[in-house]
């Protein structure tokens, strides 16, 4: 009975988004602001951090009624979340409805937070809707291609899901060719995964054709897109998402990424000020679904541009251009293996580190810079060293503890910095 109820709720969430995407842009904005007012009222009444914040700024819930009114609130940074973790959790929220989550730390600073079941359902519904835009139909076979550390390069999934999940982490050319044979035998309709991992497969693939590719979790470089489309004979649909939220996706017209506006509000700012449409800015996300641990004006750590264009698909969802600040690099080992930066983030995800960065000085040398947390131990150091030694045995690995890892001029701290010309 419980599973039937859950399935029905999932179905209704997807159905709702499939319908609302065709609303007029003004209707979608009206829906956003209605949800925003409800969320703000909830934060004031039941979230200690926001209640105190409103008092300090002499604000009441009625002062935040529109998207523009959000500027009355400060930006929510990862450091603020870490310092006020318990105060950001809704005081009356049932514990059984909350579950711990964490980001992969694509900026080198992993973040732990709490998510709630209802929020995850709405986020997943937006993911499924973006699949439909790419041409996915229920029960289509999909291969998920990640670059994550795993004990197995082909990870079993339930047969009824009709999915194969593979990891390219630490693989050489021959192993990738073997995986391509497995994919060919599986005969999937589509591929989904990290652009860097998909790109590695495409470089060695000759005769695999699919109907669609969904790129997610990394920046999709133009040469990645062209290679994927040429090798696999299908369009690539870019998807902007994080562990915190599913944010935006391309539709069949590829005019930009449609923001999942029923679930979130995006702002683009520079030095705390809103930028003009089309201008590059730091992305702030207000998650309209998250009631267990609400995030208002969360600085997600990426740079992008809002778009003033209207998509020919006639969906009312606003557009943004592709992410310009999420730059992902690849480590190349002398033995011909490849390690992408999302895989690196998984190594550090559960360790007490404030920041980390892997610098490839040459084909033979890696320097791993770490800003330690209070509980970071020699055991953790050994864990990190052994992991890199396992997947890059022919490289010199040096761990360097530092006080800080300075950001680049764009304000980002990259997980992987490659100093070699590939």
User: What is the per-residue DSSP string for 300-343?
Assistant: EEEEE-B-----TT---S-EEPPPSS----EEE-TTS-EEEHHH
The answer to whether residues 123 and 112 touch, using CB atoms and an 8 Å cutoff, is no
pLDDT of residue 153: 63
- Are 106 and 326 within 8 A, CB to CB? yes
CA dihedral 406, 412, 416, 417 (to 10 degrees): -60
CA-to-CA separations, 103 to 73, 197, 211, 300, in angstroms, rounded: 24, 19, 30, 10
Decide: helix, strand or coil at residue 386: helix
Class of domain 2-126+242-317: alpha beta
Question: Tokens for 59?
Answer: 């604000």
CA–CA dist 211, 98 (Å, integer): 37
- Alpha-carbon distance of 269 to 410, in angstroms, equals 13
Beta strands in 118-263 (DSSP E): 142-146, 154-155, 163-167, 190-193, 212-216, 236-241, 246-249, 257-259
Closest CA to 387 of 374, 372, 397, 377: 397
pLDDT tens string, the chain, 422 residues long: the values are 446 677 788 889 999 999 999 999 999 999 999 999 999 999 999 999 999 999 999 999 999 999 999 999 999 999 999 999 999 999 988 888 898 888 765 555 678 899 999 999 999 999 999 999 999 998 899 999 987 665 456 655 555 568 899 988 777 788 899 999 999 999 999 999 988 889 889 989 989 999 999 999 877 878 789 999 999 999 999 999 887 788 999 999 999 999 999 999 999 998 889 999 888 888 999 999 999 999 999 998 888 899 988 899 999 999 998 777 553 456 878 887 777 776 787 788 789 998 889 999 898 999 999 999 989 999 999 999 999 998 888 899 999 999 988 765 434 467 888 787 44
Question: Among candidates 320, 338, 390, which has minimal Cα distance to 203?
Answer: 338
Q: Which two tokens stand for residue 205?
A: 């693939």
SS3 category, 130: helix
Position 301 scores a pLDDT of 81
CB 232 within 8 A of CB 213: yes
Question: CA end-to-end span of the chain, whole Å?
Answer: 55
Closest CA to 304 of 333, 326, 274: 326
Which fold does the domain 330-418 belong to in CATH? Answer: GMP Synthetase; Chain A, domain 3 (3.30.300)
Contact call for residues 143 and 188 (beta carbons, < 8 A) = yes
Q: Which residues contact 324 (CB under 8 A, 6 or more apart)?
A: 219, 280, 303, 304, 305
What does the radius of gyration of the chain's CA atoms come to, in whole angstroms?
22
Q: How far apart are CA 65 and CA 339, in angstroms?
A: 46
- C-alpha span between 218 and 194 (Å, rounded): 6
Domain boundaries, the chain: 2-126+242-317, 135-234, 330-418
């Amino acid at each position: 009975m419980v599973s039937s109820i859950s399935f029905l709720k999932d179905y209704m969430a997807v159905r709702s988004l499939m319908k609302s995407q065709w609303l007029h842009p003004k209707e979608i904005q009206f829906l956003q602001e209605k949800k925003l007012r409800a969320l703000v009222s909830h934060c004031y009444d039941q979230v200690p951090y926001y209640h105190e914040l409103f008092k300090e700024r002499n604000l009441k819930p009625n002062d935040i009624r529109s998207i523009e009114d959000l500027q009355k609130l400060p930006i929510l940074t990862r450091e603020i979340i870490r310092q006020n973790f318990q105060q950001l959790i809704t005081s009356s929220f049932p514990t059984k409805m909350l579950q711990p989550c964490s980001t992969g730390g694509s900026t080198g600073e992993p973040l732990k937070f709490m998510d709630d079941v209802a929020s995850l359902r709405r986020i997943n519904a937006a993911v499924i809707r973006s699949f439909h835009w790419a041409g996915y139909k229920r029960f289509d076979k999909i291969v998920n291609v990640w670059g994550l550390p795993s004990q197995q390069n082909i990870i079993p999934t339930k047969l009824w899901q009709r999915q194969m999940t593979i990891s390219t982490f630490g693989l050489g050319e021959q192993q990738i060719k073997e995986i391509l044979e497995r994919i060919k035998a599986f005969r999937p309709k589509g591929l989904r995964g990290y652009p860097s991992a998909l790109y590695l497969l495409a470089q060695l693939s000759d005769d695999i054709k699919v109907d669609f590719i969904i790129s997610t979790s990394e920046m999709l470089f133009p040469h990645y897109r062209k290679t994927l489309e040429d090798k696999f004979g299908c369009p690539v649909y870019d998807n902007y998402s994080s562990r915190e939220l599913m944010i935006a996706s391309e539709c069949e017209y590829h005019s930009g990424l449609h923001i999942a506006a029923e679930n979130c509000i995006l702002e683009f700012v520079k030095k705390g000020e809103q930028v003009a449409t089309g201008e590059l800015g730091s992305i702030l996300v207000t998650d309209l679904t998250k009631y267990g641990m609400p995030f208002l004006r969360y600085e997600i750590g990426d740079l992008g541009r809002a778009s003033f264009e209207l998509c020919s698909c006639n969906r009312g969802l606003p557009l943004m251009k592709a992410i310009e600040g999420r730059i992902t690099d690849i480590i190349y080992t002398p033995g011909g293996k490849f390690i992408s930066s999302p895989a690196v983030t998984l190594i550090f995800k559960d360790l007490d580190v404030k920041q980390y960065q892997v610098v490839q000085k040459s084909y033979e040398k890696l320097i791993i810079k770490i800003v330690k947390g209070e509980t970071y131990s020699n055991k953790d150091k050994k864990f990190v060293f052994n992991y890199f030694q396992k997947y890059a045995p022919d490289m010199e690995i040096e761990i360097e503890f530092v006080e800080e890892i300075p950001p680049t001029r764009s304000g980002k701290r990259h997980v992987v910095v490659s100093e070699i010309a590939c």
